[in-house]
């Protein structure tokens, strides 16, 4: 997980390592957020994070 601004960095590092881990990007910024805003960000991110952690058998044929 990273904020949107770090998509390019993750790609560059993934290219160098030959390993592109699954990634989920949350909206930037992070550092000036309040606790409540951070929690809301986490809740909004959950479906995407679960999607990243689980295989959906219904979509296997798409691959």
Partner 1 sequence: MSESVLLDPGSERDPAEREPHGLPVDLAGKTVGLLDISKPRGDVFLDEIARLLEAEGAAVARFKKPTFTRPAPTGLRQEIAEQCDLVLEGLAD
Partner 2 sequence: MSEGNRYVVVTKKDCPTCQLIEPALEELAKQSTLKVFNQDGPDFPVLTGAEVVDDHELDGSWALNVEIVPTLVCYQGDQEVGRTEGWERAAWRQLTGFDSLGEALPEFRPGCGSLTRDPSIAPRLEARHGSGRLKARRLTLASLEDAIEVCYERGFSDGLPVVPPTPERVITMLSGTQRDPGEILGDVPPDLVPVSIEKVAINAVMAGCRPEYLPVVIAAVEAALDEPFCMHGLLATTYFSGPMVVVSGPLARRIGMNAGVNALGQGNRANATIGRALQLVIRNVGGGRPGGVDRATLGNPGKYTFCFAEDEDLAWTSLSEDRGFAREQTTVTLFAADGVQGIVDQKAREPEPLCRSFAAGLRVVSHPKMVQAPDAFLVVSPEHARVFHDAGWSKQQVTERLHELLLIDGSELVQGAGGMAEGLPAKLGGRRFRKFRKNGLTLVRAGGGAGMFSAIIGGWGASGEIGSSPVTKEVRS
* Binding interface with partner 2 (CB under 8 A): 5-6, 8-9, 12-13, 16-17
Greatest Cα pair distance in the chain? 42
Identify what 8 binds: partner 1, partner 2, none; CB under 5 to 8 Å per kind: partner 2
What residues contact 20, with CB distance under 8 A and at least 6 apart?
A: 11, 14
If one asks whether residue 11 binds partner 1 (CB under 8 A), the answer comes out as no
Cβ at position 62, least distance to partner 1 in Å? 14
If one asks whether residue 30 binds partner 1 (CB under 8 A), the answer comes out as yes
Residue of 40, 45, 43 whose CA lies nearest to 24: 45
């Amino acid at each position: 997980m990273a904020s949107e601004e770090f998509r390019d960095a993750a790609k560059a590092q993934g290219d160098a390592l030959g390993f592109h881990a699954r990634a989920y990007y949350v909206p930037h910024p992070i550092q000036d957020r309040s606790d409540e805003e951070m929690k809301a960000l986490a809740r909004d991110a959950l479906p995407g994070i679960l999607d990243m952690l689980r295989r959906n058998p219904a979509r296997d044929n798409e691959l």
